[in-house]
A and B are shown apart, each in its own frame.
Chain A
Amino acid sequence: MEKEKVISVSGLTKKFGDFTAVNGITFDVYKGEIFGFLGANGAGKTTAMRMLCGLLSPTSGDATVAGFDLYKQTEKIKTKIGYMSQKFSLYEDLTVKENITFYGGIYGLGNRELKFQSKRLIESLGLQSEANQLVGSLPLGWKQKLAFSVAVIHKPSIVFLDEPTGGVDPITRRQFWDLIYEAVKNDITVFVTTHYMDEAEYCNRISMMVDGDIAALDSPSNLKQGHGVDSMDEVFYNLARTAKRKSD
């Protein structure tokens, strides 16, 4: 049986002036998988992801996301995806509960659903006693977990996570991945970028970006085998050292 594609990208390109940040990348993401995006700083991961979320218009190339055309049905795509940006972007001057209610409301959840989700979310994150605290006062790890939960509050088909665990301690990272697995169980396809090689191992398939191109795309075990090494670290190093682009 053919696996169902939820994202299909072909020749997607983004130029900023003369500079090609993403250079005609082509790949598919299948339903229910955890798809990892790896690459050095400045490789073009965020740029690619923002194009797929409809935040940035591509220079050329085609893509369908959740069955909708990236150019013509951008707003339809937005009902089907969740996005957690690299930069924390919930409202720091609203409380935990208020952020949940706000985003749930924007995504069109009904009152009862909103109450239910808000309660469930706060409990599952263990934030009961912080529910009425301003988000700005929470530690980073908790903020990230909250941001993730808010990104999937409307039960999207796909969630895009841009370095969701950047700067977070190992324990919180584990907890974060538990949240990701739970989302997968709920039929959400996960598209995630990361710099952590242990996290790369958690992905079903990995795409390695080097200077705007996809240099390799396979499962972690196949990649290791193909390079004749036994850690993702080494795979990453082998591929990334060919990069010419300076990180910024």
Chain B
Amino acid sequence: MRTLRFLLVKEFKQIFRNRTLLPMIFLMPLIQLLILPLAADYEIKNINVYVVDHDKSTFSRDLISMIISSGYFKLVDYDSSYKRALSEVERNKADLILEIPNDFERNLNRDRVQKVFIAINAINGTKAGLGGSYLSTILKEFNKNIVMELDHSFDGKKALKRIDVVNSNWFNPYLDYKTFMVPAILVILVTMIGAYMCSLNIVKEKEIGTIEQINVTPIKKHVYVLGKLIPFWIIGMGVFSIGFFVISWGVYGIVPIGNILLLYGYLALYLVALLGFGLLVSTYAENQQQAMSVAFFFVMIFILMSGLFTPIESMPEWAKWIAKGNPVTYFIEVMRMVVLKGSGYRHIQNHFLIMMGFAVVLNFWAIANYRKTS
């Protein structure tokens, strides 16, 4: 472990001597975190909702007026024909259909549970998706016993498919879009910095040839890899902390509801997985250009397929699979759950397990693929 100490000392000296890298590491994320949430403001008003009310009870009318008064919805029409509602969606006049079944009021009173049905216009997925989640929150507020069935796959040609969204992931529904985005954008920034820096650093040693001088020493592969991982892990923690406390909390006033230690526990694990990815890229790439483009390619996919902008529930099936194989998805989820919803360990247990899997696989793969003898 003495060897590791020498590696770490060397790495930190190099990082802190690099006059261009250092400001980039710490300033770039701060600036982006200040600008991006403003630009990526997806808060949506005037969502066109078509209500198909088969019940026409006081209860259903109360619900509708509650939806309208939230300020996020515009009632396209209100009648009892689902077919007409569909044609409004097809003509892009409506983003959402809310179907209230017969005996809505009676069943709720009698059975204490009642299903409603929401169909989403997938053509404007973001708007409708957000609308769907706003709506689900209003429904929950209205009566806890309403069980929703949500249909996302409305794209004009496919048969409707019904999905239960009893456990909706959306917990900061229409209060403040920034509160919803900032923590997730912080995840993205930490991801980009971690992946790029880590992969570029090692490939740079390949390019200038210093890695040969290391490979000709009896150093153990995993020690060398640890010597690269630990510095970037610490930097990742630092960047996250600044973004989290200074910008997210300080500037945007997002006070985490959940346990911060739990969040840091997850961050720690996530960084190991992410840096494992960076290492893996660097073991395959021959030069910095290759490393950069490969890392960029994957980070782009990670970002787009992470549920950052588009809710995962409204993705097509193939995209859902990518999202599930994407470590960023889980961290964004955990971030939103812990910060906005106050979820505890129990709720994110699975997320921990999955991230552990990513960390183990990526790092062992990287170590196996790092060859001292080419």
Contacts and interface: CB of A to CB of B under 8 A. Distances in A.
A74 B6 CA distance: 23
Given A56-B374, A101-B6, A105-B6, A90 B14 contact: no
A165 interface: no
B18 A93 contact: yes
B2 interface: yes
A16 to B, nearest CB: 11
A78 B213 contact: no
Interface residues of B, number: 25
25 contacts: A54-B215, A55-B215, A56-B373, A75-B218, A76-B218, A78-B216, A78-B217, A81-B216, A83-B212, A83-B213, A83-B216, A87-B212, A88-B209, A89-B208, A89-B209, A89-B210, A89-B212, A91-B210, A92-B208, A93-B17, A98-B10, A105-B2, A105-B6, A107-B217, A108-B218
B214 interface: yes
Contacts of B17: 93
Interface in B132-178: none
A213 to B, nearest CB: 23
Interface in B12-66: 13-14, 17-18
A137 to B, nearest CB: 13
Q: Which 10 A-B pairs have the closest CB atoms?
A: A105-B6, A89-B209, A78-B218, A83-B216, A89-B213, A87-B209, A79-B218, A89-B210, A106-B217, A102-B10
A55 B216 contact: yes
Contact of B209 (A85, A93, A102): A85
Contact of A106 (B13, B18, B209, B214): B214
Contacts of B251: none
A58 B5 CA distance: 33
A206 interface: no
A94 B217 CA distance: 19
B112 interface: no
Nearest to A104: B6
B113 interface: no
B124 interface: no
A202 interface: no
A103 interface: yes
For chain A, which range describes its interface: under 10, 10 to 19, 20 to 34, or 35 or more residues? 20 to 34
With most chain A CB atoms within 10 A of its CB, the pick from B2, B9, B213 is: B213
A53 interface: yes
A90 B213 contact: yes
Given A85-B209, A105-B2, A91 B217 contact: no
- Chain B residues touching A, majority SS: helix
Given A54-B372, A54-B373, A75-B218, A91 B3 contact: no
Contacts of A85: 209, 212-213
Contact of B3 (A90, A94, A101, A108): A108
Nearest to B223: A106
A144 to B, nearest CB: 14
Contacts of B216: 53-55, 78, 81-83
Nearest to B374: A56
B219 interface: yes
Contacts of A55: 212, 215-216, 372-374
Nearest to A58: B373
A85 B209 CA distance: 9
Contacts of B372: 54-55, 74
A94 B213 contact: no
A57 interface: yes
A215 B6 CA distance: 44
Given A57-B374, A79-B218, A106 B3 contact: yes
B3 A105 contact: yes
A89 B206 CA distance: 10
